[in-house]
Chain A
């Protein structure tokens, strides 16, 4: 064991009896020669002693002579209403997962934002465009307009508002595929 900080992390484990074998001997040997670790060990043991004494003193004040009778009485009591038991179960389960509402809101907002960034934008499929043409003329940039179309034609529309450009591709079935 080379450094005091390592030993300080292991001092609680030593104090709690959670080390064994060579590591326990090594840490114990280090602590015996290190003022800081000796102080840390003493503080842990003093804290344990104080807490134990305090609780024990409270227990000593209690008269246990009627305790078993109290248990026996509770054995004959009717159980809590199911609604109360359900609520207790729900609270106990939820406390293990609960985060505050704002944290949840932020988490959901981040997920939606990331999804919006990476999901592909919607586009008009060729089938949708060709169906639309059956109902109304296709107008591009308020200038060009397709007024009629022979049957069997496939139309692809590419619109770039930034450049104010629209490309209309009209093909028949022999062309095959998307341009």
Chain B
């Protein structure tokens, strides 16, 4: 039987490195998914995700087991992603454009293995439109919609992650959905 998060956290607090690794492997995909949705850049998302785990283990002794481990972890990764986005927005435009060119090559999603070239193009275009629609949202709205639609968190859990009220979660979710629906009207 798999150990629970609390069991792994307890072992991490005792210095068990294997427990840390198990926690990472348990949540790495989910954390990277949030970071990817927030940052739209694979390299940044990986780095921020690894930083989030490093921060978790550095501060593991302060973690109180009244709240759930993953809401704490998601809070850290969302905050780090927002910080990274701010740092990038302060970069000089030319430097950002150079990096953007590289990241476009690194992050370009390869064509889906479909026999129909038309379907391939259509899928790729849809993916780009979804990414563009997501990129238009503010970090706060992105975080809410990713935590709800991709991670499946409840409103209560999202409010715990984002440290805001349930009403704020609902309001941001409503707005984010409206924006996405207006951009993806054809597909919906």
Report A's interface with B, CB cutoff 8 A: 12, 16-18, 43-44, 46-48, 50-52, 54-59, 61-62, 64, 67-68, 70-71, 73-75, 77, 88, 91-92
Within B134-188, the residues touching A (CB, 8 Å) are 134, 145-146, 148-150, 154-155, 173-174, 177, 180-181, 184, 187-188
Tell me whether B50 and A71 are in contact (CB under 8 A).
yes
What distance in Å separates the Cβ of B186 from its nearest Cβ neighbour in chain A? 11
Distance (whole angstroms) from the CB of A65 to the closest CB of chain B: 11
Q: Which residues of A contact B94 (CB under 8 A)?
A: none
Q: B44 contacts the other chain (Cβ, under 8 Å)?
A: no
Known: A55-B150, A58-B109. A70 touches B50 (CB 8 A): yes
Residues of A within 8 A of B146 (CB): 51, 55
Residues in B lying within 8 Å of A, measured CB to CB: 20-21, 24-25, 28-29, 32-33, 36-37, 42, 46-47, 49-51, 53-54, 57-58, 79, 82-83, 86, 109-110, 112, 126-127, 130-131, 134, 145-146, 148-150, 154-155, 173-174, 177, 180-181, 184, 187-188
Q: Determine how close the nearest CB of chain A comes to the CB of B152; give it in whole angstroms.
A: 9
Q: A50-B184, A51-B134, A55-B37 are in contact. Are A67 and B28 (CB under 8 A)?
A: yes
Q: Shortest beta-carbon distance, A79 to chain B, in Å?
A: 8
User: Mostly helix, strand, loop or mixed at chain A's interface?
Assistant: helix
Partner of B33, one of A12, A17, A59, A77: A59
Complex: how many Å from CA A12 to CA B178?
11
In the complex, the 10 A-B pairs of residues with the closest C-beta atoms, listed nearest first: A74-B54, A70-B50, A43-B188, A54-B130, A71-B53, A48-B149, A71-B50, A51-B149, A75-B54, A55-B150
